[in-house]
Structure 1
Amino acid sequence: MGYNIKSELKLSIKSVPESQKDIIVQLMQFYLYDFTAYLRIDVTEKGTFPAYPDLYQYWTSDEQKLPFLIWRQDIPVGFALVDRMSSNREADYYMAEFFVLRPYRHNGVGTWAAHELFGRFNGRWKVTQMSTNRPAQSFWRKVIGSYTNGEYREQTHPVRGNISQFFNT
C-alpha cells in the first residue's frame, strides 16, 4: 500500500470564514519573514511586518478572492490566497499567495495542497514567482509539471523578470 500524505498527516484545506482571518494574519508574519530573503521588508516600530495590502478583500470581494487554510488535524500549517480573474484574458484563477510553514515543507504538504486547489477550480491558472526566488520557481515547476504531466507554458515578465506558469485544469 502506498503512502498517502493526506491520511497519514490528516491534512485538509478549508475556505476561511471571516471569523478565522486572524489565523492568516498571523501566518502572514512568517510568510513575510521568508520573503526578506528576496525583498527588503522592514518591521514596524512594534516589531511586526506591515499588514498584507488589501487582505480584507478576501472577505468582502463577493467570491472574487478566495482565502484557504491548510490544516494538519487542528493546526494551521499554511494558507493560499486564490483570485478569480473574471476579466483577465490570461487566466481564470491566479495563485496570489501560497505558504507552508517550514516544518511542513519538503514532505509533500505543499504539493498536496496546490493539487487540491487546482482540482477544486477548473479552468486556466496562472502562478507567478519573483525572479530572485529560485526555491519557489523550482517548487512550482515540479508541482505544476506533476499535476499537468508537463503540459504548461512558462513566461518571464519583460520588465520585472518574474516567472509565471500557465496551465489548464
Structure 2
Amino acid sequence: MISDRCERMGIELVPKRKQAVIVNLMQLYLYDFTKYLDISVNDQGLFLPYPDLDEFWKKRERKYPYLITFDQRPAGFALIERMDDAAEADYYMTEFFVMQKYRRTGLGTWAANRLFDHFQGRWKVTQVSSNIPAQAFWRKVIESYTGGRYEEYIDPVRHNPSQYFNS
C-alpha cells in the first residue's frame, strides 16, 4: 500500500512557463499563515504577491522552485535557495507547502527527503515561532532523515527555530 501511494507522489523543478502554478498555490500558503502571522488580503481579496518570487526563475543557479504533486496534480511547493553565506549552510528551505488535503499522507515527508537527497550538503530549515505544527513536522522529518544528527537554534530576536543538518 505504501509503495502504491509513493508512486502517486511527484516533485519537479518548475519551468518559467508553469510559474503561475506556484503563484496560485502561494495564495493558499499565505492563507494558511493567517493563523500565525498578521497578514490580510487586499481589496480584491488577494494576498500581496510573495516578495521576489520571480527571482526563482531569474536566478536558476541559486534558487530552485519545485512543484509537489499527487496523482500528477499540484499539491504543494518548495522554494530552495543556495545560501550566500556558505558559513551557515549550503541550502535553505525558504518555503515549503503541502495543501491541507494532502497533509498526513506522507507526501510532505517524501518530498522533503527527495529534496534533501538531491541537494547534498549543509541545510537550514526555519519555522515561524508560532507555527507549532510546522515545528513538529520538521523536527520529525529531520530527526528521521538524519538519525537524530542535527542541531536546532532559536533566533534571539524573532524566536524562530532553525534546524541545521547535513544531507
* TM-score when normalising by structure 2: 0.97
> Where does residue 84 of structure 1 map in the other structure?
82
Matched, 1:3 2:2: yes
Partner-residue secondary structure (3-state), 1:44: coil
User: Which of 110, 119, 122 is the aligned partner of 2:120?
Assistant: 122
- Trace 1:130-169 onto structure 2 (pairs within 5 A): 130-169=128-167
Partner-residue secondary structure (3-state), 2:87: coil
Rounded Cα–Cα distance in structure 2 between residues aligned with 1:77 and 1:70: 5
Q: CA deviation at 1:87?
A: 3.1
Amino acid at match of 1:130: V
Partner-residue secondary structure (3-state), 1:165: strand
- Trace 1:1-169 onto structure 2 (pairs within 5 A): 3-4=2-3, 5-7=5-7, 10-169=8-167
CA contact (8 A) 2:65 2:78 kept: yes
Amino acid at match of 1:121: F
Q: CA deviation at 1:74?
A: 2.3
Partner-residue secondary structure (3-state), 1:55: coil
Amino acid at match of 2:68: I
Amino acid at match of 1:15: L
Partner-residue secondary structure (3-state), 2:24: helix
Q: CA deviation at 1:92?
A: 0.2
Amino acid at match of 1:3: I
Aligned residues: 166
Calculate the aligned-residue CA RMSD, in Å: 1.0
* TM-score when normalising by structure 1: 0.95
Q: CA deviation at 1:3?
A: 1.9
Rounded Cα–Cα distance in structure 2 between residues aligned with 1:40 and 1:71: 29
Query: Between the two proteins, what is the percent identity of the paired residues?
Result: 54
CA-to-aligned-CA distance 1:80-127 (integer Å, 9 cap, x gap): 000001433110000000000000001100000000000001000000
Q: CA deviation at 1:129?
A: 0.3
Rounded Cα–Cα distance in structure 2 between residues aligned with 1:61 and 1:126: 20
Amino acid at match of 2:82: R
Structure 1: state its 5+ residue gaps. none
Partner-residue secondary structure (3-state), 2:10: strand
